[in-house]
Structure formats: structure tokens, C-alpha cells
Chain A
Amino acid sequence: GEDVEQSLFLSVREGDSSVINCTYTDSSSTYLYWYKQEPGAGLQLLTYIFSNMDMKQDQRLTVLLNKKDKHLSLRIADTQTGDSAIYFCAETAGSARQLTFGSGTQLTVLP
């Protein structure tokens, strides 16, 4: 079956880089996503990567995909207090092509 796993918590100092990791099990994944959820809000699409890519960069965000190890990471450079939120990894896979989400990683940015 499909399974997406993330660590629950990450704390970093303001100005440092954050790296949020995700592993998935479905080798038929087509797209992999990172969503951000701030308190009391819905999910905001941050970025996504197609499964035939291994890296994507978008301003402060860098996504790395290791398809062999089924490992996805999100690096946030120069992390700011406004980056504090829950970050969800998700994949689109399977014949139904539905999104499967991880449990989310709570990122806390310390001053």
C-alpha cells in the first residue's frame, strides 16, 4: 500500500537552513509535493517535483528526490520566523492518482 512518512518535529535557529525529510513506499509515484500549513489555515502548495527529476530549486526552497531510496527532502535556506508551520509531504501514485499525505513536520524557527 501507499505510505508516506515524516519526522514530527524540527527546530532551527533563524537564518539557518532547514531540511525536512520524507520517505514514501509507492514506486509508481508520479508527482511529489510539499505543502505548508500555518495555524488555523488550509494547505498552501509550496512546490512539487516530477518523479523523473532529482532536484528542483525555487528561490529559498530546494527539493531533492532520491528515487532509488524513495526519499524526498525540502531544504529552506535562511529560515525565517514566518517559515514556522507544518510541512506536509505528499505523493500522487497508484491507478486512482490520489494524493497520499504524510503526517506533517512541525517546523519551529527560534530567534
Chain B
Amino acid sequence: ETGVTQTPRHLVMGMTNKKSLKCEQHLGHNAMYWYKQSAKKPLELMFVYNFKEQTENNSVPSRFSPECPNSSHLFLHLHTLQPEDSALYLCASSQVIGETQYFGPGTRLLVL
């Protein structure tokens, strides 16, 4: 399944590092999402973009900075993260907001 791809698949970073997660969708969708999946917690919606415009920020700390340069690409820029930010970060896309979401494989992030 290559509809939604994410890179890197695994990332280890120190608390002072800056890194970026990338998501690309090949489905012609207009809405893209970032989710965080931590152990033993439900998926948490972080950000929503609709036609490149951010429509939702679920009280996410500013050390996470999203960027959506076009409807096919979504980035999550990371800086000065904390160990509790270690999680699986999932990207998803849908035709428009409210329609069926298709997920990428995720980036497993470990913050040391």
C-alpha cells in the first residue's frame, strides 16, 4: 500500500536536536492530518490541514510545528522535544474533512 507514505520510519533524537517528519499522499486528497499514538492511549489528533490551510490545532505544544506546502505533502518539524514525546506519529489523508481517512505507516520516534 503506497497511498500515504511517511519518512523516516524510525527516528532517534536528542532533546536538543531539530528534525522533521515527512508525509506524502498519492491519493489526490485535500485534507491531511497528524496523529500521535502513545502506548496505552487512544490516538490523539494533533493537526488538521484542509486545502493547505491549518484548520485544527489540538493544543499541541509549540515544539511541534506543522507545515503543509501543498495538498500532497505534510511536514512535522520537531525541536527541543521531551522524552514523553516518544511515540508513533501517524499521518492520514482524506478527500475532504469528514471523509474516510487513509493512514501512512507512521514514524516511530524515540527522544533520548
Q: Mark B89-112, 1 if CB is under 8 A from A, else 0.
A: 010100001101111111010000
Main secondary structure of the interface of A (DSSP, over half): strand
Known: A88-B43, A98-B56, A103-B41. A42 touches B100 (CB 8 A): no
Known: A42-B103, A42-B105, A45-B102. A101 touches B42 (CB 8 A): yes
Chain B residues near A104: list those with CB within 8 A. 42
Chain A residues near B98: list those with CB within 8 A. 30, 92, 97
Which one of A33-41, A61-69, A76-84 is at the interface?
A: A33-41
Query: Is the Cβ of A44 less than 8 Å from the Cβ of B108?
Result: no
Query: Is the Cβ of B48 less than 8 Å from the Cβ of A98?
Result: yes
Query: Is the Cβ of A96 less than 8 Å from the Cβ of B106?
Result: no
Query: Is the Cβ of B56 less than 8 Å from the Cβ of A42?
Result: no
A19 within 8 Å of B (CB atoms): no
Q: How large is the interface on B (under 10, 10 to 19, 20 to 34, 35 or more residues)?
A: 20 to 34
Chain A residues near B105: list those with CB within 8 A. 41-42
The chain B residues found within 8 Å of chain A, CB to CB, are: 1, 4, 6, 40-43, 45, 48, 56, 90, 92, 97-98, 100-106, 108
Query: Is the Cβ of A33 less than 8 Å from the Cβ of B100?
Result: yes
Most buried by A among B4, B6, B92: B92
Query: Is the Cβ of A31 less than 8 Å from the Cβ of B103?
Result: no
Task: Name the interface residues of A3-44: CB closer than 8 Å to any CB of B.
Answer: 4, 30-31, 33, 35, 40-44
A99 within 8 Å of B (CB atoms): yes
Query: Is the Cβ of A101 less than 8 Å from the Cβ of B43?
Result: yes
Query: Is the Cβ of B108 less than 8 Å from the Cβ of A103?
Result: no
Known: A40-B108, A41-B105, A42-B106. A48 touches B100 (CB 8 A): yes
Chain A residues near B106: list those with CB within 8 A. 41-42
CA distance A108 to B95 in the complex (A): 33
Query: Is the Cβ of B42 less than 8 Å from the Cβ of A35?
Result: no
Chain A residues near B1: list those with CB within 8 A. 44
Give the nearest-CB partner of B107 in chain A.
A42
